[in-house]
Every structure is written in C-alpha cells, then in structure tokens.
C-alpha cells in the first residue's frame, strides 16, 4: 500500500501517489482538536492558561468559602452594600459609574449597566473566564 516517512504518506505506486497525499504537519477536521497546541492557541498561549488557572482557583476557593461560611458571607455583603449605599446617599463618597462601566469593558457610552444586552455582552467577552470560574465554584461548593 504505502509507507510513512517524515509525517508524509508515500504511496507505493506512482498513480496512487498522484491521487492521495496525506500530510500530518497540518491536522485537519477533528484531529486539530486533539492537538494541545490548538487549545493553547485558543486560550491565548501560556499567559491565558495561567489566567484561566487563577480564575479556576479563585472560583474553587470562593465556592468552598460560600458553602462553609454562607451566612457570614451574606451578612458581610449586605453590610458592605448598605454602608456603601448610605455613604453615597449622604455624600461621603461618590461613585463614578462611567469609570465602573469602563473597567467592566463597556465602551458604549449610553448603555445601562443594568440592561440584559449589556450583561450578555460582558459575559460573551469574558466567556472563558466565566466558564472556568463557574466550574471552580461548583467544584468548590461540592467539596466537604
């Protein structure tokens, strides 16, 4: 039938070699998904992989802490929200919502932070981080 030399299939007959040439240098179809380099390029190289790992660990730790200390966490969140709202109402602090929107990645000036399309856009831009953090949170929450 043929031999494989240096990643290129060579046919035993001239007619077959003209008809079929298979190269393993560039995987095609489903084979590209088996390549580690393909997935590394998808997440942005080693920097992206480290970032996703950090978000996974953060999700894992927060899931565990929420399960373990859920009442305390809810109390602290409620207290911080209440104190912040009262301080903003009293004029002690001022929150510049345009800056907050810019930090969240919103570049459209007139879009509301509370709109569903805005939230969907933020999740879509950060889908890898959201998915990895959610997986870490679920695993952390299911830990004993």
pLDDT along the chain (144 residues), means of 10: 50 57 60 72 76 88 88 89 90 82 63 71 80 90 84
Q: Is the dihedral of CA 14, 18, 23, 29 positive or negative?
A: negative
Position 22 scores a pLDDT of 54
Position 7 scores a pLDDT of 47
Position 45 scores a pLDDT of 75
**Nearest CA-CA partner of 127 in 105, 108, 107, 142:** 105
Position 109 scores a pLDDT of 53
Considering the entire predicted model, what is its pTM?
A: 0.48
DSSP state of 5: E
**Residue ranges of the domains in the chain?**
1-34, 44-142
Round the CA-based radius of gyration of the chain to a whole number and report it: 26
Structure tokens of 27?
């995987």
The C-alpha atoms of residue 49 and residue 31 are separated, in whole angstroms, by 21
């Amino acid at each position: 039938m043929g031999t494989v030399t240096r990643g290129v299939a060579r046919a035993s007959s001239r007619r077959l070699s003209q008809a079929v040439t298979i190269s393993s240098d560039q995987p095609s179809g489903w084979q590209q998904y088996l390549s580690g380099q393909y997935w590394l390029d998808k997440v942005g190289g080693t920097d992206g992989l480290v970032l996703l790992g950090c978000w996974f660990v953060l999700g894992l730790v927060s899931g565990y802490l929420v399960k373990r200390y859920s009442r305390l966490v809810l109390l602290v969140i409620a207290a911080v929200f209440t104190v912040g709202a009262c301080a903003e109402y009293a004029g002690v602090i001022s929150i510049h919502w345009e800056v907050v929107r810019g930090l969240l990645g919103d570049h459209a000036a007139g879009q509301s932070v509370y709109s569903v399309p805005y939230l969907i856009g933020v999740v879509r831009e950060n889908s890898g981080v959201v998915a990895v953090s959610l997986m870490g949170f679920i695993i952390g929450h299911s830990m004993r």
